[in-house]
Homo-oligomer: A and B are copies of this chain.
Amino acid sequence: MKEKRIILIGAGLAGSLLAVYLAKRGFYVDIYERRPNMRTTKISAGRSINLALSLRGLHALQGVGLDQDILKIAIPMKGRLIHAPEGALNFIPYGNNDTEVIYSVSRGQLNMAMMDLAEGYDRVKIYFNKRCTGINFTTGEAEIFDETTGETSCVKAGTVIGTDGSASAIRYDMMKIGRFNYSQSYLEHGYKELSIPAGPGGKFLIEKNALHIWPRKTYMLIALPNLDGSFTCTLFFPMEGGVSFASLNTKEKVRRFFDEQFTDAVPLMPTLIEDFFSNPTSSLMTVKCFPWHVGHTASLLGDAAHAIVPFFGQGMNCSFEDCVVLDECVGRYGDDWEKIFSEYEALRKINTDAIADLAVENFYEMRDLVADPAFILKKKIEHVLEEKFPDRFVPKYSMVTFRRMPYSIALSRGKIQDTILSELAFGKSNVNEIDWNKAEKLVNEKLEKLI
């Protein structure tokens, strides 16, 4: 029997997990990673320091036996803790029970754990400081540039999967061949990471088990807990215009702005000004493309195929789900990569498009959260409907985060639910005024029972 070999480009979260799935199927996997080995060299973990792991991601980790280990280094967040401008707090739980939580994990720790697991298989090799500079889609050869020696060589397994992230080199090459649909679109907002350090003895200075949000209509600050007692904060903020990264260009302006808008956070951020001017301002992009594969020689997976904005906390979870679906296709078709890639992209494309749109939508929800009484009322109605009709009405956030139904179904049911909520809330200002008979009628009429 011939040796089944495959090349992955990129040993980030998606690449490392995919390598484990493929190794378990008996494949020899060579991963070429452009960065140094993060377990022996101190480097930035990539796009953002921490991530929200939820059911889809956990399920994918469970498939390779990694879920329990990761949960040990994760912090459960039970809901959103909303910080109003004058400092008032309002806790909004994510789910209806204690198991409906999301987990703050460190991108670096997670990635290192998965690289360790991957390299635990003899069949998996990770080559660091190796940048892919081109793909021959006819032969499946990859051109590899060695960042340390400056030499270029060719490697070949016949099949290459690009797990090389939102700026994928493989996808870039696919654009040069005909009839490749592609879009990249930027939000007007960018982001900057800031920090709330731990208190004495690693004490959490704000609620540990929550995702903190300071929503301010056109922008927002969020904070996620880290194991050492610190919080990683992210300011999502317009790039240009009146109140923007471009206009906050002096220490005094930044100080005054934060004092006014994030009054309760400022005393906890001793390095605010330094961080603001030394940390990069990053942009927020959605990438969609199709097809994801070229014959049996190449395909894309994870951010390389579908970079999304971070507002639903699903980027990583979605990429991990890609691995599960691809693995199921491998289960059906062995090493017939043309069939595997075709079915995988047919199953996934509609869903990754859906989460991309959901993620953009959720930005507007998050930053407007406390400001709009109509929105708060709808959230209250939603909560009641979920309790009354658990087999039909599941809030959009829960469908995405605590269920594994296809994202496309979550999107379409979410839209129907929105119309129901709008109809029930119309002209009302209090949840006690809602006509629950009408609600029952609408829910039964418009929402199929969930299987």
Query: Which residues of A are at the interface with B, using a C-beta cutoff of 8 A?
Result: 175, 178-186, 239, 283
> Which 9 residue pairs are nearest across A and B when measured between Cβ atoms?
A183-B183, A179-B186, A181-B185, A182-B184, A179-B283, A181-B186, A178-B283, A181-B184, A182-B183
* Chain copies in the assembled complex: 2
17 contacts between A and B (CB under 8 A): A175-B184, A178-B283, A179-B186, A179-B239, A179-B283, A180-B184, A180-B186, A181-B184, A181-B185, A181-B186, A182-B182, A182-B183, A182-B184, A182-B185, A183-B183, A183-B184, A183-B185
By beta carbon, the residue of chain B nearest A239 is B179
By beta carbon, the residue of chain B nearest A182 is B184
Instruction: List the B side residues contacting A178 at CB < 8 Å.
Output: 283
Query: Complex formed: what's the CA distance from A140 to B202 in Å?
Result: 53
If over half of A's interface residues share one DSSP class (helix, strand or loop), that class is named, otherwise mixed; here it is: strand
Query: Complex formed: what's the CA distance from A180 to B183 in Å?
Result: 10
Query: Complex formed: what's the CA distance from A182 to B178 in Å?
Result: 16
Instruction: List the B side residues contacting A185 at CB < 8 Å.
Output: 181-183
Query: Complex formed: what's the CA distance from A184 to B174 in Å?
Result: 13
Known: A181-B184, A181-B185. 12 other contacts (CB 8 A): A175-B184, A178-B283, A179-B186, A179-B239, A179-B283, A180-B184, A180-B186, A181-B186, A182-B182, A182-B184, A183-B183, A183-B185
Query: Complex formed: what's the CA distance from A183 to B182 in Å?
Result: 5
Instruction: List the B side residues contacting A283 at CB < 8 Å.
Output: 178-179
Query: Complex formed: what's the CA distance from A248 to B181 in Å?
Result: 25
Instruction: List the B side residues contacting A239 at CB < 8 Å.
Output: 179
